[in-house]
DNA sequence: CTCGTTGCAAAGGATTTGCACAAGT
DNA sequence: ACTTGTGCAAATCCTTTGCAACGAG
């Protein structure tokens, strides 16, 4: 059901507005981020390598990193840190809250309004604005919890 | 207000219970974690190096890493990921929620009950148990927000 | 004395950076 | 043509690992 690769103002416009150039690499990286849901820079680079096949040339890893940073500045993608390790990127517009199981690594997306109450309290108490898109809650999913219970009855 | 460096069953007991040994390095690392509030492994190693002075010997960095992992298994410390980069450790017992400013990096500790509502909803809806100790909310603190407003009036 | 631990040094994975060349506009 | 962007390779940062010497019990 992934039908809108690039929502809102497209890549080309935003680049031109800043005097930057539209390159195939940038289009490819953006497309990959939109297609893969919670992809790390490595995963994205890997996919582009696969798509290119043994002959075609895929963007270099360093270009993927630079491009992701750029796309984020342009507001076209967002990244989140799920516990340790690599950050994951997703296309802008799909702003949601991530919940990650620390045991099995499963990532679930949930309604971001879940944190509205907490966010309001932080804003009122500390003047702190929570960026829901970058938040990842960690914990234990149902499966892992049951599995743990089975091992030590 | 930080008066209980090592809460509950002390290091020595927990180590002996597992046939492990109490070493000065382990005591030093635990003390450093308790003293520094949100320290990265590097920061901890650095502090121990400073305390040792130019002559005395401080635990090696690899020992600090191994020890932090051990202390966490023993339930004496916990770690949290604040956005990208190194994880931060804090003594167990001071279970709190971390709020990190993505702009200036400032870390504030807040009452963990802030997320109780969201946690309950996740437990009910998904059977997911949130580990509040490992959660770090990112966003923008008051100072950075005001500063941003000043730059582009 | 015996076996868990440490220090050192080297290996690794994930990013990032410097630069000359390639490529948008 | 004029600059921005890319590929490549080397440099970093953070962490982990192999191993022989060390020291706690």
Query: Are residues A2 and A65 both part of a single domain?
Result: yes
Round and report the angstrom distance from CA (A88) to C1' (C22): 30
Residue A106 has pLDDT above 90, yes or no: no
How far apart (Å, rounded) are the C-alpha atoms in residues A37 and A32? 9
Cα–chain center distance at A58: 21
Query: Are residues A30 and A44 both part of a single domain?
Result: yes
> What count of other Cβ atoms lies within 10 Å of the Cβ of residue B26?
22
**B134 → chain A, closest CA residue:** A138
- How confident is the model over B50-65, as a mean pLDDT? 92
Q: Give the residue from B49, B70, B93 where a domain finishes.
A: B93
Query: Are residues B108 and B144 both part of a single domain?
Result: yes
Residue A89 is predicted with a pLDDT of 94
What kind and span of H or E run contains A135? Answer: none
Query: Are residues B41 and B107 both part of a single domain?
Result: no
On average, the pLDDT of chain A sits at 87
Footprint of strand C on the protein (CB under 7 A): A 12, 15-16, 21-24, 40-42, 61-62, 65-66, 69, 85-87; B 15, 19-21, 23, 25-26, 57-60, 62-63, 66-67
Q: Give the residue from B77, B93, B109 where a domain finishes.
A: B93
Q: SS3 for A40? A: coil
Cα–chain center distance at B79: 4
- How confident is the model over A49-69, as a mean pLDDT? 93
Query: Are residues A89 and A101 both part of a single domain?
Result: no
CATH number for the domain that contains residue B1: 1.10.10.10
Beta strands in chain A (DSSP E): 77-81, 87-91, 97-101, 107-110, 129-130, 136-140
Query: Are residues A114 and A52 both part of a single domain?
Result: no
Query: pLDDT grade, residue A151 (50/70/90)?
Result: low
User: pLDDT tens digits for A3-27?
Assistant: 444 444 689 999 999 999 999 999 9
Are B137 and A145 inside 8 Å of each other by CB? no
- Work out whether the CA dihedral A34, A35, A38, A43 comes out positive or negative: negative
Query: pLDDT grade, residue B62 (50/70/90)?
Result: very high
Q: How far is CA B21 from CA A32, B14, B59, B79, B88, in A?
A: 50, 10, 16, 23, 25
Query: pLDDT grade, residue B153 (50/70/90)?
Result: very low
How far apart (Å, rounded) are the C-alpha atoms in residues A55 and A51? 10
- How confident is the model over A89-118, as a mean pLDDT? 87
Q: Which residues pair with B39 in a beta bridge?
A: B89
Residue A9 is predicted with a pLDDT of 63
Query: pLDDT grade, residue A36 (50/70/90)?
Result: very high
What single string gives the DSSP state of each residue in A51-92? HHTTTSPPPPHHHHHHHHHHHHHTTSEEEEE-SSS-EEEEET
Query: Are residues B78 and B16 both part of a single domain?
Result: yes
**Based on the structure, what is the number of domains in chain A?**
2
| Chain A contact probe: residue of B132, B137, B144 with most A CBs at under 10 A | B137
User: pLDDT tens digits for B70-79?
Assistant: 999 999 999 9
Question: Which of A83-97, A124-138, B11-25, B42-56 holds the top average pLDDT?
Answer: B11-25
CATH number for the domain that contains residue B121: 3.30.1490.190
How far apart (Å, rounded) are the C-alpha atoms in residues A68 and B64? 34
Residue A68 has pLDDT above 90, yes or no: yes
Residue A76 is predicted with a pLDDT of 94
Residue A56 has pLDDT above 70, yes or no: yes
Residue A4 is predicted with a pLDDT of 46
On average, the pLDDT of chain B sits at 87
Query: Are residues A15 and A87 both part of a single domain?
Result: yes
Residues 6+ positions from A66 with CB-CB distance below 8 Å: none
End-to-end CA gap in chain A: 42
pLDDT exceeding 90 applies to what percent of chain B? 58
Query: pLDDT grade, residue A94 (50/70/90)?
Result: low
Residue A98 has pLDDT above 70, yes or no: yes
Q: Give the residue from B78, B93, B108 where a domain finishes.
A: B93
Owning domain of residue B62:
1-93
Residue A149 has pLDDT above 70, yes or no: no
Query: Are residues A32 and A63 both part of a single domain?
Result: yes
Residue A103 is predicted with a pLDDT of 81
Residues 6+ positions from B23 with CB-CB distance below 8 Å: none
Query: Are residues A80 and A141 both part of a single domain?
Result: no
Residue B75 is predicted with a pLDDT of 93
How far apart (Å, rounded) are the C-alpha atoms in residues B116 and A118? 9
How far apart (Å, rounded) are the C-alpha atoms in residues A66 and A44? 13
Query: Are residues B88 and B99 both part of a single domain?
Result: no
Query: Are residues B102 and B152 both part of a single domain?
Result: yes
Residue B46 is predicted with a pLDDT of 95
Q: Is the CB of B86 under 7 A from strand D?
A: yes
Q: SS3 for B77? A: strand
The closest alpha carbon to B77, from B68, B64, B87, belongs to B68
> What count of other Cβ atoms lies within 10 Å of the Cβ of residue B80?
21
- How confident is the model over A74-98, as a mean pLDDT? 86
Chain A environment of B101 (Cβ under 8 Å): 128
User: pLDDT tens digits for B93-133?
Assistant: 767 888 988 888 888 889 989 999 999 999 999 999 998 87
């Amino acid at each position: 059901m992934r039908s809108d690769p690039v929502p809102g103002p497209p890549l080309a416009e935003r680049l031109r507005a800043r005097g930057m150039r539209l390159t195939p690499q940038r289009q490819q990286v953006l497309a990959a981020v939109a297609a893969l849901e919670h992809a790390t820079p490595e995963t994205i680079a890997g996919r582009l390598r696969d798509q290119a096949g043994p002959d075609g040339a895929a963007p270099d890893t360093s270009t993927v990193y630079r491009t992701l940073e750029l796309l984020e500045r342009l507001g076209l993608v967002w990244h989140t840190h799920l516990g340790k390790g690599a950050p994951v990127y997703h296309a802008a517009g799909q702003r949601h809250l991530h919940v990650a199981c620390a045991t099995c690594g499963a990532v679930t997306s949930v309604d971001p309004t879940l944190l509205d109450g907490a966010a309001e309290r932080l804003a009122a108490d500390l003047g702190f604005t929570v960026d829901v898109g970058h938040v990842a809650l960690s914990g234990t999913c149902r499966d892992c919890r049951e599995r743990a219970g089975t091992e030590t009855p």
